[in-house]
Amino acid sequence: MEDLNAGPYATRRADAGSGVADAVVHEVARLLRRLAVDPDFADVIDLRSLPMADADRASLRQRLGDGEIDAALNLAGLTRIRDTAYSGVWWARHADADNRCVLEQIIVARVPELLMAHLADIDAAAVRLSLELSRAQGKPEHA
């Protein structure tokens, strides 16, 4: 399990956290309350653009904790999506083919969009499956 805390843009200065972690947790709490009243609500916090020192990220990670799901997505490089101890709050780490983290997000939603199969993919899959069935039973294909 590679270290989730090695953020993509870890700054060299390891001085104490700059208090950004608290701010983010407050934001997450606010979004979670929104989700609680509106199931279709979804929002994402991009950690890359925040002035996060390593210590901030570690404390944020530790405060949100881990949940039951740990999903690994192979999409032009590994993407790990874990839910946190607070259901509805997910932690996503996108890496490229060399497993260098290019993006880290906190997603507040019932389920991150990335995990949901895309409708277009589903249609194509349905077509493919029916083709496979027809081939398996030797019948000619029909559109």
Partner 1 sequence: MPEAMLLGDLLRQMGISRRAFLKYASYMASLMALPPSVAGVMADGLAKARRQAVIWLSLQECTGCTESLTRSFSPSLEDLIFDFISLDYHHTLQAASGEAAEAARRQSMRENRGKYLVVVDGSVPTADGGVYSVIAGRTNMDMLAETVEHAAAVIAVGTCASFGGLPQADPNPTGAVAITKLVSGKPVINIPGCPPMPQAMAGTITHFLSFGTLPELDALQRPRAFFGETIHDRCYRRSFYERGMFAKSFDDEGARQGWCLYELGCKGPVTYNACASLKWNGGVSFPIQSGHGCIGCSEPRFWDRGGLYRPLSAGTTDVGKVIGIAAAAGAALGAGAAALARQRRASTSAKEA
Q: Which positions lie near partner 1, rule CB under 8 A?
A: 8-9, 11-13, 43-46, 48-49, 73, 75-77, 79, 94, 96-98, 100-103, 105, 113-114, 118, 120-121, 124
Q: Please state the closest distance from residue 136 (CB atom) to partner 1, in A.
A: 21
Q: Please state the closest distance from residue 17 (CB atom) to partner 1, in A.
A: 16
Cβ nearer to partner 1, comparing 34 with 118: 118
The DSSP result for 3-59, as a single string, is -TT--TT--S--PSP-SHHHHHHHHHHHHHHHHHH-TT--EEEESTTS---HHHHHH
Q: Please state the closest distance from residue 139 (CB atom) to partner 1, in A.
A: 24
Cβ nearer to partner 1, comparing 42 with 58: 42
Cβ nearer to partner 1, comparing 85 with 124: 124
Give the C-alpha distances (Å, rounded to integers) separating 37 from 2, 18, 71, 129: 36, 32, 26, 38
Contact 52, 43 (CB under 8 A): no
Q: Please provide the size of the chain in residues.
A: 143
Contact 35, 41 (CB under 8 A): yes
Cβ nearer to partner 1, comparing 138 with 141: 141
Q: Please state the closest distance from residue 95 (CB atom) to partner 1, in A.
A: 9
